[in-house]
Structure 1
């Protein structure tokens, strides 16, 4: 697992969260059809757990502080926040690439 893997999983998890909140939930409550919540919710739950697992592994391998893990955890429960966390990860990835190329 590397930073790029974390970024990909985080982006997919963030998209699944937005689909759950802004597509599946309105369909359930405004149209009375809960089927999308069942499937999108299940997918989002799996992606959420996967994101936390990958976040933990990458934090351990990169020897990042607990603050970065907590920032990722916090970002994963707020709409749109995973995309801001991804910008942080991109900066960390660029720093790592610069360090390894020297």
Structure 2
């Protein structure tokens, strides 16, 4: 006896009036037992001895949603590298006061 195939729900994607796009070249990840906080910002370096980070948005995720995001990003990164080549990370940029990825 076969199990009935689960019905996939229809997904309706909309944006709220306060939706906005932004560019970030800095993401700080903070975590607690209850959630993850992703803090997005822009990093600039005007001199060799000073880095400025201007944070503009913090997003809280449940641990489950953070893991789902990790899986989606890893899959998309693998597809990107297959299409365009390996992404190299600059190891020369210092990481100020905590994990900035």
Larger Rg: 2
Q: TM-score, length-normalised on structure 2?
A: 0.33
Using structure 1 for the length normalisation, give the TM-score: 0.33
Higher RCO, 1 or 2 (CA under 8 Å, sep at least 6)? 1
More strand by share: 2
